[in-house]
Structure 1
Amino acid sequence: MRTIDWVDGAVELVDQTRLPGECVMLRLRTVDELVEAIQRLAVRGAPALGVAGALGVVLAGDDRDAIARLRAARPTAVNLAWGVDQAAAHLGEGSQAVLRAALRIRDDDIAACLAMGERGADLLEGDGLRIMTVCNTGGLAAVERGTALGVVQTLHERGRLAEVLALETRPLLQGARLTTWELARMGAPHRLITDSAGPYLLSRGGVDAVLIGADRIAVNGDTANKIGSYALALGARRAGVPFIVVAPESTIDPATPSGEHIEIEDRASGEVVTFAGVRVAPEGTQVANPAFDVTPHDLITAIVTERRVIRP
């Protein structure tokens, strides 16, 4: 199953807000529809956003205002802007050239995820591996297979995976709703844990590696990823557990010198003060809701891309 694709003149994608209850495909014909889907996280994950950005330029045509709105739909994930820019570079060549460029980005993402899965699995030694991960980095975050969870899938296919410990990933539960759904579909053994349990379980042993994705990688190797990643990096360093970031080369942003220069998206308070539509905090409660955090490069064991292994 592909998370996102171009089908008969429209963008088709899995509505990830409906999972795990039901798997619903959205069919989007306008940039405004796509922007709305991006902002409410119907489509999310750095590689998938790159493909969404490229396909959105096909929908926009020569409407520069629409392209600008699409490019700015989510500020932290560099892949969205990258995908828009890659496709928009062909606007002067006609609509078919833009479509060909967008489909190349889609196909390159599929190949990159396969390569990252192989390279990441080769990097990890031993059998019966126990992996910890946060958020969702599988096929739902890409076109197919995914980044960090793509490595997990390759380990599972090789018979080297013992278990995955998946953090629930508050406040929108991408780990609980999406990662466990994907792990169940691939038949991989797994347990769901609360976010705050991650560092403690690392300290108790029994975890061989932490694998996460990235939404932006700075030139110095600092990485922005789903909130909670930094805590896992600290816990992994204390426990002596490898902390590995898996992301495509397109996530490395040459315009961002370090993590201090990464804009962190602050999302709506309703995601925190309510749960499944039920208010869990008093009216008037003020909220800070950063969607991402930054892990300094000195806490990262390795960054795995489709081309190389980088040791910051």
Structure 2
Amino acid sequence: MEPIIWEGSTLKLLDQRLLPGEIKYLSCTTVEEVAEAIQKMVVRGAPAIGIAASFGLVLGAKEHGARCRFSDLQEMALKLKNTRPTAVNLAWALERLLAVAEEIKDGQAMVNALEEEAGALFKEDLAINKAIGENGAALLSPDTILLTHCNA
């Protein structure tokens, strides 16, 4: 089960409010939908919130397309940051994407660079979570059923 699925123009978030009883994904195609999902706790755990916000910023940038400017991204990032101000990874991930965007300033190249950086963040997070799982698995018996929180 994957908590986040990125499909290029759609971000699918595992609705963690329904776990463990139901597995359902919420599809987001706009920065506003991602912000609402974070605020309503569809996505939980600081790392997942940061990744979701990163792809939310990408969705917002894609909406603007070649007309996207750095100031547009700053506005969208602020909206996303305000959804869960205590989630440390949220601000960190958005600042990382903004740093990449600031080097380019505007246009389609900036949008493409944002998507690439969000993808890199996602891959890094998956690797970290896999390492957590592998290290933790050594401590559990083979028949253990485990529901994780904050890190998948």
When the two structures are superposed, what TM-score results if normalisation uses the length of structure 1? 0.39
- Residue equivalent to 1:58: 58
Are 1:71 and 1:81, in contact at CA under 8 Å, matched by a contact in 2? Answer: yes
| Cα distance in 2, alignment partners of residues 43 and 187 from structure 1 | 27
- Residue equivalent to 2:140: 161
Partner deviation per Cα, 1:89-144 (whole Å, 9 max, x = no partner)? 222242111000000000001111223345xx4xxxxxxxxxxxxxxxxxxxxxxx
What is the alpha-carbon root mean square deviation over aligned residues?
2.3
Letter in 1 for 2:9: G
Q: 1:21 to 1:77 in 2, by over 3 A?
A: same
Aligned residues: 133
Indicate the structure whose relative CO is greater, using CA pairs within 8 Å and at least 6 residues apart.
Answer: 2
| Cα distance in 2, alignment partners of residues 85 and 11 from structure 1 | 20
When the two structures are superposed, what TM-score results if normalisation uses the length of structure 2? 0.76
| Cα distance in 1, alignment partners of residues 94 and 24 from structure 2 | 25
SS, match of residue 89 in structure 1? helix
Q: 1:88 to 1:188 in 2, by over 3 A?
A: same
- Residue equivalent to 2:100: 90
Are 1:54 and 1:86, in contact at CA under 8 Å, matched by a contact in 2? Answer: no
Structure with the bigger percentage of strand: 1
Partner deviation per Cα, 1:271-304 (whole Å, 9 max, x = no partner)? xxxxxxxxxxxxxxxxxxxxxxxxxxxxxxxxxx
- Residue equivalent to 2:125: 109
User: Is 1:67 matched with 2:77?
Assistant: yes
| Cα distance in 2, alignment partners of residues 187 and 58 from structure 1 | 40
Query: Gaps spanning 5+ residues in structure 1: where?
Result: 122-150, 163-185, 191-211, 214-246, 248-312
| Cα distance in 2, alignment partners of residues 102 and 78 from structure 1 | 16
| Cα distance in 2, alignment partners of residues 114 and 108 from structure 1 | 10
Letter in 2 for 1:10: T
Letter in 2 for 1:20: P
| Cα distance in 1, alignment partners of residues 19 and 133 from structure 2 | 24
Identical aligned residues as a percent: 37
Residue of structure 2 aligned with 1:77, choices 75, 78, 87 = 87
Letter in 1 for 2:84: R
Partner deviation per Cα, 1:202-254 (whole Å, 9 max, x = no partner)? xxxxxxxxxx96xxxxxxxxxxxxxxxxxxxxxxxxxxxxxxxxx8xxxxxxx
Aligned pairs for 1:193-212 (under 5 A) are none
Are 2:35 and 2:53, in contact at CA under 8 Å, matched by a contact in 1? Answer: no
